[in-house]
Amino acid sequence: MADFDYDIIVVGAGHAGCEAASAAARLGSKTLLITMDMNTIGQMSCNPAVGGIAKGQIVREIDALGGQMGIVTDLSAIQFRMLNKSKGAAMWSPRSQSDRKQFIQQWIKRLTTTDNLYIWQDEVVRLLIDNQHNTQTIAGVETRLGIQFKARAVILTNGTFLSGLLHFGRTQIAGGRIAEKASVGLTEQLAAAGFISHRMKTGTPARLDKRSIDFAALQEQQGDVTEEKFSYLPKVKRELKQMSCYITYTNPTTHEILRKGLPDSPLYNGQIQSIGPRYCPSIETKIVTFADKDQHQLFLEPEGVDSSEYYVNGFSSSMPWQIQLEALHSVRGLEHCVMYRPGYAIEYDYFDPTQLHETLETKLIRNLFFAGQINGTTGYEEAAGQGIVAGINAHQNITDGKPFVLSRDESYIGVLIDDLTHKGVDEPYRMFTSRAEYRVLLRQDNADERLTTRSHELGLADTERYCLYISKQEAKQRLTDYLQSTSSATPAYRALLEQKGYAGSSAHGSLRDMLMRPNIELRDVIAIDSTLQEIVAALPDRRDEIIDSTEVDIKYSGYIARERMAADKLHRLDAIKIPANFRYNELQSLSTEARQKLTRLQPKTIGDASRIPGVSPNDISVLLVLMGR
């Protein structure tokens, strides 16, 4: 280590820390990433997969912003699937199985070749804080080795390591992950500074030796045979061998074995008091909560091309290892399975995210940022989305730039951060499409259209990425113009209508009008139109992406327009400012709950106030009157 002064220090090299450090350094800030183990940078602590419902949209947004998660995922992918393809386009969500080791190696390669980015292996035990003029400002960190690093901004992305405690039945071991020690001291220091902290719990299942699994008895699930991926960059390809996942089910015998172990389960003997994820329950919670069910699905995921480990998705457990193994042996295909390591639960500290601004800077200490599970979230994607926003805003803060805030109609990342900072959490937060009011606007196919220009203006999305976005828009416009200006009243198109079940229907109108019909696809039209074929032949090498995106824009144009109107109304509320330290307690016309929550959270705008749970439309009307509206 040759230097001890940095612009930005990022603590923790998980998914939030990697994105934060990468973004800050690429924007031009001299950045130090501190991790307790360089060999676990970007570690997939739980299942070896990225994306899924709503999560896949977040990864595409990170990529559109110029982040790294989509690229790393594509380069380490061993299976890709587009979920919900049978539903509307707003619900399509990409998901990829990753080679766990390759995922880490790709992150290490990208971080160690990034200008302005330095890495130090050590543990941060204390924050350096300046107290001047009754204002607390971050000044750096101190490590376990006694080194003090100075910085103008610090981003904490500690994951599950803050006072982490692992539970294996009645056995408890301090740690942030299995075989990795916990981080102690930061919670106590932050609590002394006025921060409110709580405990959360998550868990992970056993890992099995593939040589002991009877795959012939399992249901195979292959990936999509397409070239689809996460990154919008054409040069990024999926290159690894593609692998299958497998499905099996628990049974009444499995459940009986698990019930036998409930007295030793930390979840049911009082050992664990913290809150766990409701949407991803442990297997013991499933058999108690859904006692009437005879089976639960288990999803076996490969850990990598050269790995013999399989992850048993759906069998998260903190039961004693003997109970876990006995229960697994009762499952079809796993009768002789050999366990590499058992599942376990982990409790850890997090901080109430309403203590943050929308930039993810803390309200109590200037230029201190929180990102990831420290804010009460769960999931790689949610952490990475916070990380890139924190990295951008840390840079913006120290360079006197404009705060970078994403709105709810602009991205799922915006929904995530708005929910955290205005509503807080009472269980580990996971993103779902249902959390977003504007799902048709926030599709996975148009993340580049929503975010690339904003990121390019910052300097994070580079010129190559921006030019690719512009060429895509120009290509879509050529397609749209032709479809809008060309009549469908020809024998060929009448024949297509009859073939698709519209016999006798009028063929008047444009090709764009014809595409509004539910079961007529743009590729159907291209197949019988020579001019369209010429236009498509001249498209860039992202032909399928451009065709699909154009078709979605046309078919959903009515819904898109309606959601845009609703979003514009929200923006009008966001434009009405509320004076700082407004005395809500003096307004008896507000409900008691509204007075309490508005006083505590001090929203900056009427729009912010409207998104706080417990603040009713009537309360908003009162505030609008008071603000002269």
pLDDT in tens, 53-110: 999 999 999 999 999 999 999 999 999 999 999 888 889 999 999 999 999 999 999 9
Kindly report which listed range (51-60, 164-173, 333-342, 516-525) carries the lowest average pLDDT score: 516-525
Q: What sign has the CA pseudo-torsion 501, 506, 508, 513?
A: negative
Q: Which neighbouring-strand residues pair with 276?
A: none
User: Is CATH 1.10.10.1800 what the domain over 463-562 is classified as, yes or no?
Assistant: yes
Q: Do 463-562 and 5-201+348-458 fall under one CATH topology?
A: no
Selection from 329, 337, 286 nearest residue 309 by Cα: 337
Q: What's the pLDDT band for 2 if we cut at 50, 70, 90?
A: low
The residues that bridge with 35 in the sheet, in sequence order, are 121
> Is 23 a residue whose pLDDT tops 80?
yes
CA dihedral (121, 124, 128, 134) in degrees, to 10, reads 140
pLDDT value at residue 571: 86
Distance between CA 415 and CA 555 in Å, rounded? 25
Closest CA relative to residue 118, chosen from 15, 191, 24, 216: 24
CA gap 531, 478 in Å, rounded: 12
DSSP for 180-213, please give it: B--B-SHHHHHHHTT--EEEEEEEE--EEEGGG-
Pair 23, 388: CB distance under 8 Å = yes
99-130 pLDDT, tens digit each: 999 999 999 999 999 999 999 999 999 999 99
Q: What's the Cα-to-Cα distance from 341 to each of 40, 53, 296, 391, rounded to whole Å?
A: 18, 28, 22, 35
CATH number, domain 207-344:
2.40.30.260
Query: In this structure, what token pair is assigned to residue 206?
Result: 């056993």
Three-class secondary structure of residue 139 per DSSP:
strand
Structure tokens at 478: 């050529």
Kindly report the backbone phi and psi dihedral angles of residue 376, in degrees, each rounded to the nearest multiple of 5, phi listed first.
Answer: 90, 15
pLDDT confidence of residue 610: 87
Range of weakest confidence among 240-244, 297-301, 352-356, 513-517: 513-517
Residue 358 — pLDDT band, cuts 50, 70, 90?
A: very high
The 3-state DSSP class for residue 500 equals coil
Cα–Cα distance, 292 to 286 (Å, whole number): 10
* Continuous segment of H or E residues that includes residue 626: helix 617-626
Instruction: Look at residue 24 in the predicted model and tell me its pLDDT.
Output: 98
Instruction: State residue 411's pLDDT score.
Output: 98
> Quick check: 247 and 299 in contact, CB under 8 A?
yes
Farthest-apart Cα atoms in the chain, separation: 82
HSE-up of residue 186 (Cα within 13 Å, Cβ side): 30
What local confidence, expressed as pLDDT, does residue 156 receive?
98
Domain ranges for the chain, please list them.
5-201+348-458, 207-344, 463-562, 575-626
Hey, how many other C-beta atoms are within 10 angstroms of the C-beta on 439? 20
Q: Which CATH superfamily is domain 5-201+348-458 in?
A: FAD/NAD(P)-binding domain (3.50.50.60)
| Dihedral angle sign, alpha carbons of residues 35, 37, 40, 46 | negative
Q: What angle do CA 410, 411, 412 make, to 5 degrees?
A: 150
Structure tokens at 467: 């030019």
Tell the CATH topology of 575-626: DNA polymerase; domain 1 (1.10.150)
Q: Could you identify the residue written with the tokens 């998104």? A: 611
Q: What is the overall mean pLDDT for the chain?
A: 95
Scan for tokens 């230097």, then name that residue. 3
Across the range 155-175, mean pLDDT stands at: 97
For residue 541, name the pLDDT band (cuts at 50, 70, 90). Answer: confident
Across residues 591-606, what is the average pLDDT? 90
| Average pLDDT, integer, range 554-558 | 94
Give per-residue burial for 593-624: e unless 16+ CB within 10 Å, then b: ebbebbeebebbbbbbbbbbeebeeebbebbe
> In this structure, what token pair is assigned to residue 590?
């507000």
* Residue 125 CB neighbours (<10 A): 16
Residue 473 tokens read as 């828009």
What is the SS3 assignment for 433? helix
CA distance 208 to 220: 17
User: What is the Cα–Cα distance from 275 to 199, expressed in whole angstroms?
Assistant: 7
Determine the number of helices (DSSP H) and then strands (DSSP E) in the chain.
21, 21
- Spatial CB neighbours of 355, under 8 Å, sequence gap ≥ 6: 195, 196, 362, 363, 364
Q: How far apart are CA 569 and CA 572, in angstroms?
A: 5
Residue 489 has pLDDT above 90, yes or no: no
Helix (H) or strand (E) holding 287: helix 283-289
| Three-class DSSP category at 453 | helix
Nearest by Cα to 226 from 94, 418, 422: 94
> Per the structure block, which two tokens stand in for 514?
């014809």
For every residue of 510-565, DSSP letters joined together read BHHHHHTSTT--HHHHHHT-HHHHHHHHTS-S-HHHHHHHHHHHHHTHHHHHHHHH
